[in-house]
Structure 1
Amino acid sequence: MKPIATFLLIFFISCTFAQSEYEPTAIDPYGIKNPKAPKQLDDFKPMIGICDCDSESRNPDGTWAKPVKMTWKYSYIMNGMAIQDQTLKADGKHSGSIRQFHKDSLKWYVHYYASATPTATLSSWEGNKTKDGKIVLYKPQKAPNGAEGFSRLTFYDITDKGYKWIGEWVDKTEKIVYPFWKISCTKREE
């Protein structure tokens, strides 16, 4: 092979590797955090891998439905610069999110999608990790009666063994709180 061809081949291979060296592989099935990524990606580090979870949501009459078994998988994506999660539920309703931390606003932006509700525009929440270790995300949302408020999503009791999650509607003062979905997860695989 001519020297220029060898150089171009090595250059191409090294560029391709540099663009994907932190992506999931057979050795690291959930990817690796890119050293250039915001340190806040560590907020979700205990969740990277697979958890077995129980998901409970409200029935239309306000009672809680029976828990649905699900798995919740977290992986590093975009060459270790963001996090993606995917849920696989026993009831056949699956969902996922892309989680990016913006260095300028110092906020998490979470874009949600679901198999049961395909949409041209993804719903998105924004927020941060609190001093007490919770990750709290908000999206403006009116209550069924038209009251202004937010959809508030909170990860809490986060450890290497699992975590809990709750979705709530809250008014603008956060004095009125109505839980609509809760999930409890136990780590299966890292």
Structure 2
Amino acid sequence: MKKTALLLFFLFPQFLSAQYNYEPSEEYPFGRINPSARGELADFQPLIGESECSSVTRNPDQSWADPVPMLWRFKYIMDGMAVQDETLKEDGTHSGSIRQFNSDSLAWYVHYYASAGAAPVLPVWEGSKKDDGNIVLYRPQVAPNGMEGYYRLTFFDISDDNFEWIGEWVDLTEKIIFPTWKISCTKKD
């Protein structure tokens, strides 16, 4: 009886961990894509892992602020069915998001959160990977002058070694473009 109980004690944790083969683990620290997931989950594959980045935002006078060093970490979560990212910035303003692909709308939904404050409802961007390889996400946003538009997020120049990111306000036709945030990243080994 004792041997059976001891055997179950040691095997039970392995049984539990074996159920989630695509979660981050010692062997795969950033998780893996679940083979049952939509193919679009691979859109973020080049970003998976850790990158050293430089983040630049606008000052109140609209000039560009000094760059802030940051670490940007992407990993697969929910047993390889979604992507989570987090930023750790030297200025102490950290943030992250949960990225899920919706099979019905064929779009990414990105829920954003930040350490600056807990929001009762998370802001959501919606978008997809384009033919040029860029990942473009939108969220409706009215400009300070009342003009309707979007806050557009774009991942571009994506490779296995680096990527760029930009946040911009755009009008509904995307002819008026005002960048407010830029991030340049290099993957860590």
Q: Secondary structure at the match of 2:145?
A: coil
Which residue is 1:180 aligned to?
180
Q: Distance in 1 between matches of 2:19 and 2:131?
A: 34
What is residue 126 of structure 1 aligned with on the other side?
126
Please state whether the residue corresponding to 1:20 is helix, strand or coil. coil
What secondary structure, in the 3-state scheme, does the structure 1 residue paired with 2:157 have?
A: strand
SS of residue paired to 1:168: strand
Change (3 A) 1:35 1:14: farther
Q: Aligned residue for 2:92? A: 92
How much has 1:14 moved relative to structure 2? 7.9
Structure 1 spans left out of the alignment, 5+ residues: none
Q: How does 1:37-116 map to 2 (within 5 A)?
A: 37-116=37-116
Q: Which amino acid aligns with 2:136?
A: V
What amino acid maps onto 2:123 in structure 1?
A: S
TM-score, with length taken from structure 2:
0.92
Structure 1 distance, partners of 2:36, 2:18, is: 12
Q: Which amino acid in structure 2 is aligned with residue 94 of structure 1?
A: H
Cα distance in 2 for partners of 1:166, 1:19 equals: 38
Q: Offset of 1:117 from its aligned partner?
A: 2.9
Aligned-residue offset at 1:83:
0.3
Q: CA deviation at 1:73?
A: 0.2
Alignment of 1:4-15 (within 5 A): none
TM (norm. structure 1) is 0.91
Please give the alpha-carbon distance, in whole angstroms, between the structure 2 residues aligned to 1:118 and 1:76: 23
- Please say which of residues 63-72 and 110-119 is displaced more in the overlay: 110-119
* Cα distance in 1 between the residues matched to 2:184 and 2:172: 26
Tell me, in whole angstroms, the C-alpha distance in 1 between the residues paired with 2:179 and 2:104.
31
Q: Which runs of 5+ in 2 are unaligned?
A: none
Per the alignment, residue 140 of structure 1 pairs with 140
What secondary structure sits across from 1:33 in the alignment? coil
Query: Which string of whole-angstrom CA distances, capped at 9 and with x for unpartnered residues, describes residues 86-133 of structure 1?
Result: 000000000000000011110000000000132111000000000000
User: Secondary structure of 1:72's match?
Assistant: strand
User: Cα gap change, 1:63/1:20 in structure 2, threshold over 3 Å: closer, same or farther?
Assistant: same
Deviation at 1:18, TM superposition (A): 5.2
Q: State the shift of 1:20 in Å.
A: 1.7
Describe the SS at the equivalent of 1:159.
Answer: coil
- Matched to 2:56, the amino acid is E
* Compared CA separation, residues 14 and 38, structure 1 to 2 (3 A): farther
Q: Distance in 1 between matches of 2:54 and 2:35?
A: 33
Pairs aligned (count): 187
**Could you say which residue in structure 2 is the equivalent of 1:29?**
29
Q: Who is 2:166 aligned against?
A: 166
Question: How far does residue 144 in structure 1 lie from its aligned partner after superposition?
Answer: 1.1
Structure 1 residues 15 and 106, CA gap change in structure 2 (3 angstroms)? farther
